[in-house]
Amino acid sequence: MRIACPHCGLRDVQEFVYLGDAAPQRPDGLAATEAAMFEYVYLRDNPRGLLEELWYHGVGCRAWLVVRRDTLTHAIEYVGLAKSRKAGAAA
C-alpha cells in the first residue's frame, strides 16, 4: 500500500502512522456531556468500504493527512491535508 502525500508524492505506507476514522470530532471539553465524550472516544462506524481516515506522514513532511480508502480493497481514492479540511475547505 502506498499513499500519495500532497507534499511528498507517492510514498510507502511504512512512512505513515495511522490514527483511524477521521469523522469523530472532539466535543468542546468543558461543555461536552459524558455521552458525547463516550461516543467520540469509543464508538465507530467501522464501514466495510469507503472510510475517511487520518494518517500522519511521520517520516516525510510530518503533515496530518485525510485519506479516503476502501477498507475492503485497500484502494485509495483521495488524499488531502487535514489542515485544509479543518479550515473548512472541501475534503
Interacting residue ranges for other proteins, rule: CB under 8 A: 1, 12-14, 18, 20-21, 34-35, 38-39, 41-48, 51, 53, 69, 71-74
Phi, psi of 66 (to 5 degrees): -105, 120
Closest separation between CB of residue 84 and other proteins, Å? 22
79 and 15 Cβ atoms separated by less than 8 Å: no
55, amino acid identity: W
- In a 13 Å sphere around the CA of 68, the CA atoms on its Cβ side amount to 8
Closest separation between CB of residue 7 and other proteins, Å? 20
Closest separation between CB of residue 87 and other proteins, Å? 26
